[in-house]
Structure 1
Amino acid sequence: MVAFSSATSTPRAKLEPNPDASDPTRLPTISNLSFNQDRDCFAVATDLGFRVYTCDPFRLAFRREFFSGGGVALVRMLDTSQIFAIAGRGPDPTSPPNKVMIWDDHLSLGVHDMPFRSEVRGLKLRHDRIVVVLKHKIVVCDFLHPKATQEILTAENPKGLCDVSQSPGPMVLACPGLHKGEVRVENHGLKRNKVIMAHDSSLACLGLTQDGRYLATASTKGTLVRVFSTSDGTLLHEVRRGAERAEIYSLAFSNTGQWLAVSSDKGTVHVFKVKVDSGSMENDGSCGTSEGGAHNLSGVSSLSFIKGVLPKYFSSEWSVAKFHLPEGLQHIVAFGKRKNTIMILGMDGSFYRCQFDPVKGGEMTQLECHNFLKPEETS
């Protein structure tokens, strides 16, 4: 098991301010972006430290710029509290890439250090768990007394793919399995795990609903997104992002699980209506087709009589709404608290709030746009 060192009894020294942050012309470089558990806020990891913004209304809540040796690689908020999990960018000893620090911003110090033998690739937080993603392993830790309670071996996971449920109750965790295209689902409530053969190609992205009942996955081909039941691994729905290969950056369900947002390097955010009534689906609980194939799902059976005539991708369901962004730039998405709204964060410091029409669909309406690295830039 992984060893941890606690600084509760012997508090860490307060970290010194980052001298680079005193230069008003020096804009930080973004390392990572993440929404908190209920999407009220988002955190920005930079080479100077980290920042927190509220989503609605959009504003800077605070920023901490104290790592002078490379900054912050990953930062995750615990709800709207002042507790954060931070992984550094190195090479400074105060911010190595193989250590997770639990930062109490109220006390302005680190209260726990969790060193690992390899670089931290991803982080997830719940009120009761800290989940640390390494290249070939997931480490689940107890939050109140940070120590490893479970280790899960995975296939090579350079992107740090992992997601956890956020609703009250036992945790559901999804991560890559041991083989290409597999997803392993750990259901702590049912006290069992399920391996889902999601794709023929390697995984590129995955996301859970808040309650952990449903899982969305995409592969490195980036053409199809599949939705599964986490309780038994049944394929419930399949939608098509496009016909060309793409890199999927983000998959996000709405709070009700009715909608799914997808961002990719093609510069488009798509919103799909999710059909999870497995009684209306005709499948045997497995994928059954390759990435280029199509399942006979509800809503597409009318095309069955010309399957042999049209290309197979016409049999897949397409998005209800979309929004166009600069192509090639990484964005992450989340559903907002306002009705039928999407929030989009870009690695260039962009924040968009958009609204989609669930009936008419089509192009989303941009409600607001900000550059959070240059707060004066707003439209």
Structure 2
Amino acid sequence: MATPAAAPAPPNPNPVPDDPPPPPPQQEEQQEEEEQGEASEPEASPPAPPATSIEPTFSGSEESESDDSSSISSVAPSAPAPTAERPPPAAKDLLHISFNQDYGCFAAGTKSGFRIYNCDPFREIFRRDLVAEGDGGGGGGIGVVEMLFRCNILALVGGGDNPHYPPNKVMIWDDHQSRCIGELSFRSPVRGVRLRRDRIIVVLENKIFVYNFADLKLVHQIETAPNPKGLCAVSQQPGSIVLVCPGAQKGQVRVEHYGARKTKFINAHTSRVACFALSQDGRLIATASTKGTLVRIYNAAEGNLLQEVRRGADRAEIYSLAFSNNLQYLAVSSDKGTIHVFNLKINVGSTANDKPTPAPEPEVPHISPPLSFIKGVLPKYFHSEWSVAQFRLHEGEQYIVAFGHEKNTVAVVGMDGRYGA
């Protein structure tokens, strides 16, 4: 497929019709979630005509993403030039941080543009300042930056008090041309974007859109419960695609297995889901609720619970979850300022057809008959699995966590502008 020409393509004459306004957010239920019966995959919207062909080049850092589409069109060039090396952005200027798919880089959206950093060794790879002097074009705020491994295509969404792009548009940036080559427009703000080499996933508050990466055709749309955080995860291995998003009920996650053409609902918690993560191979899901005390690991294919670990006893807001590449560990960050690392007691086969199975349970100490009644009344807290390592950071700050490429290393980047590994 040819790389897009430098000159912008003409606007698409047949845009996808606007998405109707999302329904008002539902109030959180007070009772436990209902059991979900058979679920059918929602109908896909008619494919959107391509704005332009997109061919990622995996040579430098780049990002790509598209938003809920009311229209798709090419964008006239804007030419922010690379600037001289400057210090990292101050915490007050940060609007967004996210790791790329293999945790080798992370992106930062700021009030004046975006920056891409390499994790090991830590260094700034490049930056784009989107406010040119005297252009009168408004602010430079970027609220979402999504990378596609290390290629030239990125997805940008405006953010902050003075956004560079409208918050209801996903701008597709080609860093080889230093300009946007396309956009997807919506009636409501974009909450998140996820990328893989063959798909672009755009998250709105009540809906998720899946696009074919090569031609920007809409291939699937999903109705979700209110999702202001833009929660969504997608597998990264070639071939079968697994997508995880909030379900329609409180505490529920929805798993789309596109290769098998099936939808699975998992009633993960009795309170609302606050965070989840999907392993890169799409076989394991880790979930946390708004209580933030327990993290549960599920088999994505069957939806069965494999393991439950405890972060703590006090309520906490979970900011991120991350699996290690070998699926041996799970890292958790929260507003308590502590990074927890848990040992996964799960045997995962080496082939794509193998399913995760629980590891053998350790032997329970024998309880003598006169005291056997205690086993049934002891709080679950005392039988919990706890983390094997903890790292203390600044309480109240938002940190996201990932596993480094070096063995037994954890990378942490925060909205306070700090990075450590």
Q: Which TM-score band (shorter chain)?
A: 0.7 to 0.9
- Gaps of at least 5 residues in structure 1 are 282-296, 354-379
**CA distance, structure 2, for counterparts of residue 168 and residue 23 of structure 1:** 38
Aligned-residue RMSD, C-alpha: 2.7
Query: Structure 2 vs 1, CA of residues 106 and 248 (structure 1 numbering), >3 Å: closer, same or farther?
Result: same
Q: What residue is the counterpart of 2:397 in the other structure? A: 329
For residue 146 of structure 1, the aligned residue among 211, 216, 228 is 216
Q: Which has the higher strand share?
A: 1
**CA distance, structure 1, for counterparts of residue 415 and residue 87 of structure 2:** 20
CA contact (8 A) 1:303 1:315 kept: no
- Mapped pair 1:222 → 2:285: no
Which residue type is aligned with residue 45 of structure 1? G
For residue 200 of structure 2, the aligned residue among 130, 153, 172 is 130
Q: What residue is the counterpart of 1:267 in the other structure? A: 337
State the SS of the aligned residue for 2:346.
coil
- Gaps of at least 5 residues in structure 2 are 1-15, 19-47, 54-72, 132-137, 348-355
Q: Report the alpha carbon displacement of residue 93 of structure 1 after superposing the two structures with TM.
A: 8.3
CA contact (8 A) 2:117 2:125 kept: yes
For residue 314 of structure 2, the aligned residue among 238, 244, 247 is 244
Q: What residue is the counterpart of 1:59 in the other structure? A: 123
Which residue type is aligned with residue 397 of structure 2? L
TM-score normalized by structure 2? 0.74
**CA distance, structure 1, for counterparts of residue 392 and residue 247 of structure 2:** 33
**CA distance, structure 2, for counterparts of residue 93 and residue 311 of structure 1:** 50
Query: Structure 2 vs 1, CA of residues 184 and 300 (structure 1 numbering), >3 Å: closer, same or farther?
Result: farther
Query: Structure 2 vs 1, CA of residues 55 and 26 (structure 1 numbering), >3 Å: closer, same or farther?
Result: closer
Task: Map Cα deviations across residues 222-260 of structure 1 (whole Å, 9 max, x no partner).
Answer: 000000001010100000000110000000000111110
Query: Structure 2 vs 1, CA of residues 62 and 5 (structure 1 numbering), >3 Å: closer, same or farther?
Result: farther
- 1:217-366 matches, within 5 Å, as 217-277=287-347, 280=358, 298-299=361-362, 301-302=364-365, 306-308=374-376, 310-353=378-421
**CA distance, structure 2, for counterparts of residue 120 and residue 32 of structure 1:** 13
**CA distance, structure 1, for counterparts of residue 233 and residue 335 of structure 2:** 21
State the SS of the aligned residue for 2:127.
strand
- List 4+ stretches of structure 1 deviating above 3 A: 1-11, 21-28, 90-94, 277-281, 299-310
**CA distance, structure 2, for counterparts of residue 84 and residue 136 of structure 1:** 24
Q: Report the alpha carbon displacement of residue 300 of structure 1 after superposing the two structures with TM.
A: 7.8
Number of matched residues? 337
Q: What residue is the counterpart of 1:38 in the other structure? A: 102
**CA distance, structure 2, for counterparts of residue 315 and residue 58 of structure 1:** 40
**CA distance, structure 1, for counterparts of residue 274 and residue 266 of structure 2:** 15
Query: Structure 2 vs 1, CA of residues 301 and 205 (structure 1 numbering), >3 Å: closer, same or farther?
Result: farther
Q: What residue is the counterpart of 2:69 in the other structure? A: none
- Mapped pair 1:14 → 2:77: yes
Q: Report the alpha carbon displacement of residue 91 of structure 1 after superposing the two structures with TM.
A: 7.2
Query: Structure 2 vs 1, CA of residues 24 and 242 (structure 1 numbering), >3 Å: closer, same or farther?
Result: closer
**CA distance, structure 2, for counterparts of residue 25 and residue 60 of structure 1:** 8
CA contact (8 A) 1:7 1:110 kept: no
State the SS of the aligned residue for 1:314.
helix
**CA distance, structure 1, for counterparts of residue 249 and residue 88 of structure 2:** 47
State the SS of the aligned residue for 1:307.
helix
**CA distance, structure 2, for counterparts of residue 175 and residue 119 of structure 1:** 18
Which residue type is aligned with residue 385 of structure 2? E
Q: Report the alpha carbon displacement of residue 117 of structure 1 after superposing the two structures with TM.
A: 1.3
Q: Report the alpha carbon displacement of residue 302 of structure 1 after superposing the two structures with TM.
A: 4.0
Q: What residue is the counterpart of 1:181 in the other structure? A: 251
Q: Report the alpha carbon displacement of residue 8 of structure 1 after superposing the two structures with TM.
A: 3.5
- Mapped pair 1:202 → 2:272: yes
Which residue type is aligned with residue 15 of structure 1? S
Considering Cα pairs closer than 8 Å and 6+ residues apart, tell me whether 1 or 2 has the greater RCO: 2
**CA distance, structure 2, for counterparts of residue 152 and residue 303 of structure 1:** 50
**CA distance, structure 2, for counterparts of residue 24 and residue 2 of structure 1:** 44
Q: Report the alpha carbon displacement of residue 298 of structure 1 after superposing the two structures with TM.
A: 2.5
Decide which moves more: 81-90 or 167-176: 81-90
Identity %: 55
- Mapped pair 1:109 → 2:173: no
**CA distance, structure 2, for counterparts of residue 341 and residue 91 of structure 1:** 36
**CA distance, structure 2, for counterparts of residue 275 and residue 143 of structure 1:** 36
Which residue type is aligned with residue 164 of structure 1? V
TM-score normalized by structure 1? 0.82
**CA distance, structure 1, for counterparts of residue 52 and residue 256 of structure 2:** 30
Which residue type is aligned with residue 298 of structure 1? E
**CA distance, structure 2, for counterparts of residue 57 and residue 256 of structure 1:** 22
Which residue type is aligned with residue 14 of structure 1? P
CA contact (8 A) 1:97 1:120 kept: yes
